[in-house]
């Protein structure tokens, strides 16, 4: 059984709202191992590398501004099927429609801003996880 690794980010809204402990508890309660963790104030350069596939899209600039607006927590989590498992735990991107029991469904909401502030990011594939881990934990 192969162990996957994924990048999880607790975004600035999660840190600002002091939800880091609750989010980490949910990850650990699911049985995933947090192998690395650090608090970061992301630079524009770091965020440009992370979001390079979104350059030119209407939400790109507001997203980069939001992600640079305060400290965030970068995590490497490990476990069998951790990538789809964490994405399920996080819930859908829109907190308004995210299912109860998920991080976004229980703790998030739509604030009516230019970009969705939805507490967490999780890699969407093994390839994305490897690329993102390389960016955040170089």
Residues annotated as catalytic are: 121
Give which of 43, 45, 44, 122 is closest to 84, Cα–Cα.
122
CB atoms within 10 A of CB 96: 12
Distance, CA of 56 to CA of 37 (rounded, Å): 31
Measure the CA–CA gap between 65 and 53, rounded to whole angstroms: 16
What span, in angstroms and rounded, lies between the C-alpha atoms of 65 and 69? Answer: 6
Element containing residue 132 per DSSP (H, E): helix 126-136
**CA-to-CA distance for 83 and 32, rounded, in angstroms?**
10
């Amino acid at each position: 059984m192969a162990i996957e690794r994924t990048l999880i980010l607790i975004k600035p809204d999660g840190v600002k709202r002091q939800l880091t402990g609750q989010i980490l508890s949910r990850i650990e309660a699911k049985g995933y191992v947090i192998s690395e963790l650090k608090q970061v104030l992301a630079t524009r350069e770091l965020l440009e590398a992370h979001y390079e596939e979104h350059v030119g899209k209407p939400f790109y600039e507001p997203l980069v501004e939001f992600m640079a607006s305060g400290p965030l927590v970068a995590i490497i989590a490990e476990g069998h099927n951790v990538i789809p498992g964490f994405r399920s735990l996080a819930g859908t991107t829109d907190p308004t429609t995210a299912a109860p029991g998920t991080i976004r469904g229980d703790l998030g909401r739509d604030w009516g801003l230019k970009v969705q502030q939805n507490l967490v990011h999780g890699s969407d594939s093994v390839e994305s996880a490897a690329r993102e881990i390389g960016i955040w934990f170089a």
